Amino acid sequence: MKGMENINPARIEHYFTPEVCVGSECNNACLFCSVGSPTAFKWKTLDEIKEEMKVLRQVANNVKFTGGEVTIRKDLAEMISFAKSLGFQKIIVETNGRMFYYEDFTKKIFEAGATDFLISIHGHKPEIHDALTRIPGSFEQTVEGLKNLAKYYKGGVGVNVVITRPNYKYLPEIVSFLSTVPVKHITLSFITVCGAAARNRSIVPKKSEVIPYVKKAIDGLKNQMVSLNHFPVCLLAGYEKYARFMKVPIRTQIKNPNYIITLESQLAKVMTKGEKCKQCKYDNLCEGLWKEYVNLYGFDEFMPVPGRKLQNIEEFEAELRGM
């Protein structure tokens, strides 16, 4: 435990939202799935999930249910109700959105106490989205799911777009399409080279090739908020404020008389940096690159940003305010 930084529980959401991964089973078969397989990890019991929530509630006000695909579990409403009974302020459902095609299901989940929804959609038309999910009709179900959610949830649904070789040139069109459906926040997430993507590496583009399309997509945004995930800040000149993949302290401990539970990021085990990164002003904040991405493309496309090294996320935010 030496060197462990304890973070005030009230501030934990400043760094991350704790997740409850319910299992890896899914009704999509995405080419880029970071989990890799429906049998990658076991389907947790409801009692196990409740115990996880009790622990997380000691350090967090918000919780996110993820998988696999959470909505194919028949006990999802019960999980959400239990989270509500524990006093979680935000109860987030991360999903491919297909089950929300059914209005009765949508109403049931909303009434159970879910407060936020993060829906995955990866194209602006079926030919792109369905090819990536490998499920014909998934685009139609997800889009209708978004519309159904809008009937019950007025806070504005969030959407996650995983950026791959088949869709990156269409990012401006995808963002434009999402402005026609009830979406409030868009996260553009570069594909992570793990799980299924590690077996389907041909769908992994170079980050530097993607950036012009990302910037054009942001420039075309209307009323939606946007975040960029898995992009190092050195690539985002002029668009730094959209970066969300930053190295911040997310380690904390839950201390009881008989045990200590430690919550911390495991990213350091799968990320790496190049020698040039030490010269970059963002070195202390940058997570670096997935090791598998470096195995594909190396570091040549990344150049250090000159300037005084920023020491923490607060300095980064202060610099943004001064731009």
For residue 199, tell me if it sits in a domain.
yes
At residue 302, what are phi and psi to the nearest 5 degrees?
-110, 130
For residue 281, tell me if it sits in a domain.
no
239-250 burial code (b ≥16 CB/10 A, e <16): bbebbebbbeeb
291 has pLDDT over 80: yes
For residue 307, tell me if it sits in a domain.
no
The parent domain of residue 191 ranges over 17-205
Query: Hey, is 289 helix, strand or coil?
Result: strand
Please give the structure tokens belonging to residue 31. 């080419």
For residue 160, tell me if it sits in a domain.
yes
What's the pLDDT band for 223 if we cut at 50, 70, 90? Answer: low
Check residue 105 and give its pLDDT.
Answer: 96
Name the pairing type of β-strands 225-229 and 252-256. unpaired
Please give the structure tokens belonging to residue 194. 């793990």
Tens-digit pLDDT profile for residues 18-65: 889 999 899 999 999 887 666 667 889 999 999 999 988 887 889 999
For residue 88, tell me if it sits in a domain.
yes
Distance CA 130, CA 176 (A): 19
**Cβ neighbours for 248, distance < 8 A, ≥ 6 positions apart:** 14, 15, 16, 285, 312, 313
- Domain containing 88 — which CATH number? 3.20.20.70
For residue 47, tell me if it sits in a domain.
yes
Q: What is the pTM of this model?
A: 0.88
For residue 186, tell me if it sits in a domain.
yes
Distance CA 93, CA 222 (A): 25
Domain count, the chain: 1
> Is 117 in contact with 95 (CB distance < 8 Å)?
yes
Residue-wise DSSP of 121-157: ---SSHHHHHHHHT-TTHHHHHHHHHHHHHHH--S-E
Check residue 13 and give its pLDDT.
Answer: 58
Check residue 3 and give its pLDDT.
Answer: 34
For residue 286, tell me if it sits in a domain.
no
Between 74-78, 129-133, 176-180, 232-236, the lowest mean confidence (pLDDT) is in 176-180
Q: Which amino acid is at 23?
A: G
